[in-house]
Structure 1
Amino acid sequence: MGEGIRAEVRIESPDGCPVAGATEATGSASYSVSKSVNPVDGGGVTEEFMLDDEATLDDVALTDEVTEVFAYGSKSAYRFQRELGRFCPCECIERFDCPVVDVHAREESLFVTFHAPDMETLQDVVGDLRGTYPSLDVQRLLRSEGDASDENLIFVDRGELTARQQEVLETAHEMGYFEHPKRANGGEVADELGISRSTLSEHLSAAQSKLLGTILAN
Structure 2
Amino acid sequence: MTNFLLENGMPLYAITWIFMLPIAATLIVMGRQIVGIKGFGLAMPLLLGFAFAATGIRLGLSMLLVVVVSAYIIRSILGNFRLLYLPKTALIITGSALVLMFIAPFLPYKDNLQFPMATFSFLLIILSLEQFYAFLSERGLRKTVGITIETLSLSVIIYFLLTSVAVQGIVIEYPAFTLIAVIVINLFLGRWTGLRLSEYIRFKDVIFKQ
Give the shorter-chain TM-score range. under 0.3
Higher relative contact order (CA 8 A, sep 6+): 2
TM-score, normalised to structure 2, is 0.25
TM-score, normalised to structure 1, is 0.24
Higher relative helix content: 2
Higher relative strand content: 1
Task: Choose 1 or 2 for highest CA Rg.
Answer: 1
